[in-house]
Structure 1
Amino acid sequence: MRVDILGTKVDQVTMQQALEKVEEYIKNREHRHIITLNAEIIYRAQHEPKLKEVINAADLVTPDGAGVVWASQKLGNPLPERVTGIDLMLEIVKEAAVKGWKIYLYGAAPGVAELAAENLKQKYKNLKIVGTQNGFIPSNEMPALLADIKAKDPDILFVALGAPRQEYWIREHLEELNVPVSIGVGGSFDVIAGKVKRAPKIFQNMKLEWLYRLIKEPRRFGRMLALPKFALKIMQETRKKQRSK
């Protein structure tokens, strides 16, 4: 079942249910697009119809952040839990090492995907990472990248170009690549590579990872302004629903 949050549809799934979906997609060998959706991108989609279209066309949309879960509760159709991009990626990788799924990493700065791949392979000895490529290749090299992904035939393609660029890229190439699972994972490669430190557990447990990122990266302040605007929109929607009863 999907929950409507300001016109974007988010699946009512737990982490375990999302993993079961991933396994189903791989078994069926059909190209599927997974989006981990946060409040910032939902707010952006209010002013970007094409983005809303891409989100709602995805095969699985998980709530990436406490703000999305809070919004679902306020709107009276609660989501069970957060299923963030990096957590979902790490759980998929763990399963891939056991089940033999092949993985391809595309995105982040030069050298980061390779380092992330090495760190993952050190942790999971049987993990099959069949290819890596940074996210800064020139447009004239894109055909070679697409050919390489097709030739390597991964079961899972992780794309770390930042949202919503990664979502647009996956949607554009989804059918051509025919990868069973393609998922945008934002800055996850940087964290796995050790280039960026993830918020400490206390921030994660308090659902304040956004605050930690803002403290560490003050340049994100402009982007973070979307969060109070998102909250205001949700409160307005809540009041509308109450008046219509």
Structure 2
Amino acid sequence: MQKFSTVPLSDYSILSCQLDELKFDSKCVINTVNQYSYVIAEKDKEFKDALSNSDILLPDGVGIVAAVKFLNKQDIKKIAGADVHSYFLNKLNAVNGSCFYLGSSEVTLAKIKEKMSREFPNIRVGTYSPPFKSSFSKEDTDKMVEVVNQFRPDVLFVGMTAPKQEVWTHLNKDRLEVGAICAIGAVFDFYAETISRPSKFWIDLGLEWFIRLVKEPRRMAKRYVVYGPAFVWMLLRSKLNQSLLKGAQA
């Protein structure tokens, strides 16, 4: 598989190039990391393994961008799941490609297909809504792999919320007959417009997180109010360790 330029962040290699370098002609697993998933992964080995073994790990959040700057003095740009979704749809539409949406509800998937037929008429689209449960049985997983492989998409979009989607993809990637595999969670609802994403104005200001917090305080409060400070503490600890290591080597 093609190698991409990355920057280190703890145990992860974060993509530092632009989306236009990404391809879907060979299998690769694309995940995203933000401050919330970064903190959660420190307590969840399966999740951390899934993220650290990504072929491509996108910096999905101003927190990750700031962390790379703080620890490594390198500038990178935020690339959200919605960005990679849009990028691949435009690429696929231009070449009469195919994609498959695995996850979410039948209602959301129907809205996605209807919108795709208008905006990207050249793309062949498949969908499957798996059972809504905290963990999947072997039979559940076998069915999911079967329906995806029958379709054989160029790009598989997985939307089952983190960390379930990343762990499932990591455990089953070798069984899937697909090109790129993108775990993009909330993008299913953003694209279907069952949940509205903040406008480009707020995204460009780096305040998408704040608008989501205002709109969905009950769901987002813990993510930003609790895990935000935990993320900052981890960065300060990493910076201290860096300084101590440099001092020992001097």
Tell me the TM-score normalized by structure 2.
Answer: 0.87
Distance in 2, Cα, partners of 1:79 & 1:182: 26
Give the length in aligned residue pairs: 236
* SS at structure 2 position matched to 1:35: strand
Distance in 1, Cα, partners of 2:17 & 2:96: 24
Amino acid at match of 1:237: S
Q: Identical aligned pairs, as a percentage?
A: 22
- 1:45 corresponds in structure 2 to 41
* SS at structure 1 position matched to 2:181: strand
Corresponding position: 1:136 with 2:136: no
- 2:234 corresponds in structure 1 to 233
Distance in 2, Cα, partners of 1:227 & 1:199: 19
- 2:178 corresponds in structure 1 to 179
Distance in 2, Cα, partners of 1:136 & 1:79: 41
Amino acid at match of 1:189: F
Moved more, 131-140 or 72-81: 131-140
- 1:58 corresponds in structure 2 to 54
Structure 1 pair 242–142 and aligned structure 2 pair: CA distance change class (3 A): closer
Distance in 1, Cα, partners of 2:117 & 2:229: 40
Moved more, 110-119 or 5-14: 5-14
Moved more, 222-231 or 160-169: 222-231
Post-superposition shift, 1:199?
0.7
Q: CA RMSD in A?
A: 1.8
- 2:149 corresponds in structure 1 to 150
Structure 1 regions of 5+ residues with no counterpart? none
Post-superposition shift, 1:168?
0.7
Distance in 1, Cα, partners of 2:198 & 2:130: 24
Distance in 1, Cα, partners of 2:95 & 2:232: 41
- Residues 120-177 of structure 1 show CA distances to partners (whole Å, capped at 9, x for unaligned) of 2211221221x11124357444433321111111111000111111101111211111
Corresponding position: 1:35 with 2:31: yes
Show the 5 A alignment for 1:147-226: 147-219=146-218, 220-224=220-224, 225-226=226-227
Post-superposition shift, 1:7?
2.1
In the alignment, is the contact (CA less than 8 A) between 2:131 and 2:140 conserved in 1?
no
In the alignment, is the contact (CA less than 8 A) between 2:46 and 2:167 conserved in 1?
no
Distance in 2, Cα, partners of 1:10 & 1:150: 29
Corresponding position: 1:76 with 2:77: no
In the alignment, is the contact (CA less than 8 A) between 2:97 and 2:124 conserved in 1?
yes
Corresponding position: 1:10 with 2:14: yes
Amino acid at match of 1:71: A
In the alignment, is the contact (CA less than 8 A) between 1:9 and 1:55 conserved in 2?
no
* SS at structure 2 position matched to 1:4: strand
Distance in 2, Cα, partners of 1:238 & 1:173: 35
Post-superposition shift, 1:229?
1.1
In the alignment, is the contact (CA less than 8 A) between 2:97 and 2:122 conserved in 1?
no
Amino acid at match of 1:203: W
Distance in 1, Cα, partners of 2:50 & 2:140: 25
Distance in 2, Cα, partners of 1:178 & 1:64: 26
- 2:23 corresponds in structure 1 to 22
Distance in 1, Cα, partners of 2:100 & 2:201: 32
In the alignment, is the contact (CA less than 8 A) between 2:105 and 2:129 conserved in 1?
yes
In the alignment, is the contact (CA less than 8 A) between 1:11 and 1:60 conserved in 2?
yes
Structure 1 pair 181–197 and aligned structure 2 pair: CA distance change class (3 A): same
Moved more, 147-156 or 107-116: 107-116
